[in-house]
Chain A
């Protein structure tokens, strides 16, 4: 296994408030997070709202600037890159966003949305780009006859495919998918998940999959990191985490997932936040399995 991306001691603090008579408060959105994403795998970051999972993803692409830490992409620290170096690096690392309704410019045609990254990186002539976009449309299961439609003429699932086509335009090797299906209907979610898995096989993609839906994470990821209040509290192979969770928060999270069998026994584990030591370091529980206990 070759590491593709390595995040080391990533920290992002947001300063909030602060007025004439009031001190600023610091929110530790990401608090000393480290993990490795290996080539070809799907690494999932799970957690609830406010756990810092999306901020971690955004820091890795420098969509927000981290406070400190390192993000190594193929061994190079992208946090040290100049703007032009970073722009070049983003060809290889792309993002798919959660909400296909707000992440596509409503005044741009689907073709222009998908073509834009090619224009920015001065790739191909106009007719070549048109052909490339048509190919991308086919790749993600859209009809190239709809190239000149506007986003509102597509359904939610189709819009997410447009977002995916745009992310794939520059042939990246690494994709951060931030809750890519949570805004979609149940029957459409499965279509997009299948597409993500097919594309991974076909294009040898590496995914960082940010999600709160544990059923989904269990299905598609090879390894999982559980985030809680800005920290990774548990990390390991997906089957191991689901079968043998060690951290109190992971246990509570797993027990909260509704069973899809009316006869399944309900055993809710409530999280006693007093039980959780916030400063416990991650320690190895078994081969490849770490927990802050």
Chain B
């Protein structure tokens, strides 16, 4: 039995609302998860599931009309959700680093590569301007950029997509944060470059003793990188578990559907698609948001969103197929189980 340690990050009942007309939209709805030291949590979901908004809420970079209405984000003993902006600024970069999907949009086109890294170091008082350049070169070497002493003077447009993502990683790791949030870090990249960046992420995790929140829609990326997985649908985490539990014993019909819709199996056979479309957050059904697309829909599914059922030490699900009282548990339906 492992000793229960205090998690590095604990998100508790986080709710983020966008105040838009005609009525506010709840983009993140009562989300809770933890990230322990040294582990990678994969947050997976489709567009509009709220996975990126969750990340922005954690690091306090939500733009109005978005705002966190309830919940806590406990990081190193402090609640980031109630931290004033000047304090928050110290956490960003030094406590939590982040890498986004579009490195070209995240890098300043008129700043040299080295200046991006130096800025992070100087702002957090970790290096003088004089030292910053050599530290920048070291970091570029760490993220495996060839000729770092030449590349440090390049502008972002002179680099390829994969190189830019490496530079983003160097910026994010400059202040040696214990936690890195990577939001779709490989989505805009070609598959061979994606593989290199994923290898680099794993490598950096070891080298910098990092914990990682990896946000992606690609289950392949999750399978290769994550220790635990949280599956988001329409603003809520519907299933959470170890990577093996999620891939080998998925319980939520949505998780099963996602796994089944990955091409594989017999060539030319029909894929097991999830019918219907991703719901509009502004007009969610009263019960379970997945019910309209669910093959196992029951009358109870339209009443209220199901509560969390704990299935194991790591595995939990929100679905009426798995009610929390064991004696009323329904037989596992035959369906899309892999």
Give A contacts to B, CB under 8 Å: 48-49, 155, 157-158, 185-191, 193-194, 197, 212-216, 218-220, 238-239, 252-253, 255-264, 266, 268, 270-271
B243 contacts partner chain A, Cβ-Cβ < 8 Å: yes
* Known contacts A49-B190, A256-B194, then 16 further A-B pairs from the complex at CB < 8 Å, ordered by chain A residue: A186-B218, A186-B261, A186-B262, A190-B272, A194-B270, A194-B271, A194-B273, A215-B263, A218-B264, A218-B267, A252-B192, A253-B191, A258-B223, A260-B220, A260-B262, A261-B223
Expressed in whole angstroms, the Cα–Cα distance for A48 and B192 within the complex equals 8
With contacts A187-B278, A268-B195 taken as known, whether A219 is within 8 angstroms of B190 at the C-beta atoms is: no
20 CB < 8 A contacts A-B: A157-B277, A158-B277, A185-B217, A187-B258, A188-B277, A188-B278, A193-B273, A197-B268, A215-B262, A215-B264, A218-B263, A218-B267, A219-B269, A252-B192, A256-B192, A257-B191, A260-B259, A260-B264, A261-B247, A271-B192
B210 contacts partner chain A, Cβ-Cβ < 8 Å: no
Could you say which of B46, B259, B272 has the most chain A C-beta atoms within 10 Å of its C-beta?
A: B46
Please pick, from A188, A219, A255, A264, the residue contacting B263 in the complex, using a CB distance under 8 A.
A219
With contacts A48-B190, A185-B278, A187-B273 taken as known, whether A238 is within 8 angstroms of B267 at the C-beta atoms is: yes
Expressed in whole angstroms, the Cα–Cα distance for A239 and B267 within the complex equals 9
A270 contact set on B, CB distance < 8 A: 196
The chain A residue with its CB closest to the CB of B217 is: A186
Q: Name the 5 nearest CB pairs between A and B, nearest first.
A: A258-B220, A190-B273, A219-B263, A256-B195, A190-B261
B190 contact set on A, CB distance < 8 A: 48-49, 212
Interface residues of B in 139-182 (CB under 8 A from A): none
Contact of B268 with A191 in the complex, beta carbons under 8 Å:
no
Could you say which of A157, A186, A212 has the most chain B C-beta atoms within 10 Å of its C-beta?
A: A186
A185 contact set on B, CB distance < 8 A: 46-47, 217, 278
The chain A residue with its CB closest to the CB of B243 is: A262
B199 contacts partner chain A, Cβ-Cβ < 8 Å: yes
Please pick, from B218, B259, B268, B269, the residue contacting A258 in the complex, using a CB distance under 8 A.
B218
B221 contact set on A, CB distance < 8 A: 258
Expressed in whole angstroms, the Cα–Cα distance for A257 and B224 within the complex equals 10
Expressed in whole angstroms, the Cα–Cα distance for A155 and B198 within the complex equals 31
The chain B residue with its CB closest to the CB of A189 is: B261
B277 contact set on A, CB distance < 8 A: 155, 157-158, 188
B247 contact set on A, CB distance < 8 A: 260-262
Contact of A259 with B224 in the complex, beta carbons under 8 Å:
yes
Contact of B244 with A193 in the complex, beta carbons under 8 Å:
no
Contact of B278 with A262 in the complex, beta carbons under 8 Å:
no
B274 contacts partner chain A, Cβ-Cβ < 8 Å: yes
Expressed in whole angstroms, the Cα–Cα distance for A230 and B271 within the complex equals 32
The chain A residue with its CB closest to the CB of B221 is: A258
